[in-house]
Structure 1
Amino acid sequence: MNIQEIRKQFPILHQQVNNHPLVYLDSAATSQKPVQVIEAVDRYYREYNSNVHRGVHTLGTLATDGYEGAREKVRKFINAKAVQEIVFVRGTTTGINTVVASYARANLKEGDEIVITPMEHHSNIIPWQQVAKTSGATLKYIPLQEDGTIALADVEKTVTPNTKIVSVMYVSNVLGTINPVKEIAAIAHKNGAVMVVDGAQSTPHMKIDVQDLDCDFYALSGHKMCGPTGIGVLYGKKALLEKMEPIEFGGEMIDFVDLYDSTWKELPWKFEGGTPIIAGAIGLGAAIDFLEEIGMDNIAEYEHKLAQYAMEKVGGVEGVTIYGPKERAGLVTFNIDDVHPHDVATVLDAEGIAVRAGHHCAQPLMKWLKVSATARASFYLYNTEEEIDVFVKALIKTKEYFGNVLY
């Protein structure tokens, strides 16, 4: 990977923030966009803006080809069996909520179990809380090890024949933990449960094969993988999606409408009511082209090196606590003794460094860590070791600013 050549393709990176070169370390929240994605979205609006599927005119055909072509790119990118298994949604949150509203509400009853983990993003906690309340199902948690990992022995103990749904994030947005979702899926299936994977933090950074994982549902967000905001994907096994009812009704998702009854289109369109996210899908397709040209294995290898370099450098600063396991995805979540993470982020911002501070939509995990909030530096294919050095130097400056003594 030629990082400098890659960086040239991200216009936003080449600017000054607070009179310092921008160091963007917040890709876990949202990634930056290469010029190929920006141009693809711009081209759609400039040259062939039109609605999809319904029209027979030239612009409508071009828009439909772009939209459905993006669906095929997604299918290949995550190795789904068929395009019918790829549903465009707003993002991971909408994908998980679709599974809850359509599959879980129809299949859960009193006495059933839903199993998740304490490290989940709120988007993979709250929907399950709500459906547990309405269905009478029990919400259970797989315990975490001291380093924030999951032991398969604990999965075996927690998942029972009463478990109907297991929903786990592939990569933690706080700890960087890479969960053994393939093995968890096998345990879920052994007990007759379906496996849902939150792929928001995994899809941008590693090669994904949903058939190999054998998950039943997989949700991802385009904006975290160099694509536009407002577009994501819900993958579902065809046999399951075919039995599920749509949750949004209106145009585009219907087959035939009578005065008192209606029928639905086939997959995947029955889940895509109304005018779909056309520009977003086209932009996501361009992002996939960009990532595949670089190679997901190359990206994963490079980010692993960055994460290990950052762990070593940040870990060498006295008074800094790092959370999560040694082997991790490309992020470092930390606190400086006696300094609130929001203050850390504010001082870093004055140095042109963008990090995230807060509970990261993971309040149960913050409680488990016995903190109210943390700071997080997250990396992507356009970051460099030199940027990490700038970041660590600024961390030391932050400690000095707040009166900490360096030894």
Structure 2
Amino acid sequence: MLFLDSPEHAAFRAELREFLAAELPAGDWDMRNDRDHVSPEHARFTEEFRKKLAARGWLTMGWPRDFGGAGASYMTQTVYMEEMSSAGAPGAYDQGVWLAGPALMMHGTPEQRDRWLPSMRTADVHWCQLFSEPGAGSDLASLQTRAVRDGDEYVLNGQKIWTSGALDADWGILLARTEPDAPKHRGISYFMLDLKTPGVTVRPLVNMMGSHHFTEVFLEDVRIPRDCLIGEENRGWYIATTTLDQERSSINRVVMTRSTLGALIDYVKGVPVLKARAELRHELAERYLEFEIGRWLCYRVAQMQSEGKVPNSEASVSKIFGTELQRQMGITGLRVIGLPGTLEPGSKYAPLRGQVERWAMAAPSYTIAGGTSEVNRNIVATRGLGLPRD
């Protein structure tokens, strides 16, 4: 693996930076300060920005050309996500494009692809992922939401939780149990759910930041057409595993950390009493080195994908390292800034416009979302190192 851009990727990175400099708002309105901010102004800008990405073909650049994408390599997609996340750009990561789209392309019928893929390409429809449940998070295969066949329909009953963005979503990808007596991994099916269907209730989950990025979704006798089943009945788990590996290999966790680190370093440089403290300089240096390691772990995943390999344990290593680094950045930020670092965005006394407070408050979720660090460590141990399960 080469630790530098190819000429093609260097040119693409320059194009992305030029676009971001021209299209992102100037001033203090930074998308990274509050990832759960859902003001009308932010929502309108995100919609407009996603449309611009779609018009350039960047939103679906990784899709095969046969499905309207650009057939971009994994390395090119990683460069794209790195630059978008570094700039705090909204809408670059789209759950429909990255999660639902690949499932349809691999397992959907031609009619299903024609139904859902076009609106993903044009950014006209919002998607969410309806996987986790109150008793099935890390052990996702323990899910209890039921889908019972009734003629040409399925009847859904159950509850999903920690669903990102469901309040603004139009559709969701959903796992439900269709064969309760089968081994837990073999009785699950994969569905597309219209969130406007009668019986679907979405409720916000307000977190300790006062935001409601996460939601819980209740399903009460929800009837969906049979053609919303993707792939074979009872084979949904095997469709979902490719989705989870894609989610864990993203570079955005690490590069979002880099922006916070750069802001902290600049802050320390401007405060002589902090600049003189060797232990703070050493801690910031450690975070900088960890950022470089995390970045290249992500590129290793992309390189393996480019070579046709399946980065299972490697994706888990990248996910563990990236989210642990995010958590550590919140701790470092508070240690560097001290008590003023606990002030929320909006306070005129908050250093860095409250960015550190956002990181520290959100830190507990980083090592849980998308697969806990504990589960991913087990994956590394068993699939990467070949250690026994017992």
Name the TM-score, length of structure 1 as normaliser. 0.29
Structure (1 or 2) with the greater helix fraction: 2
Higher RCO, Cα 8 Å, sep 6+: 1
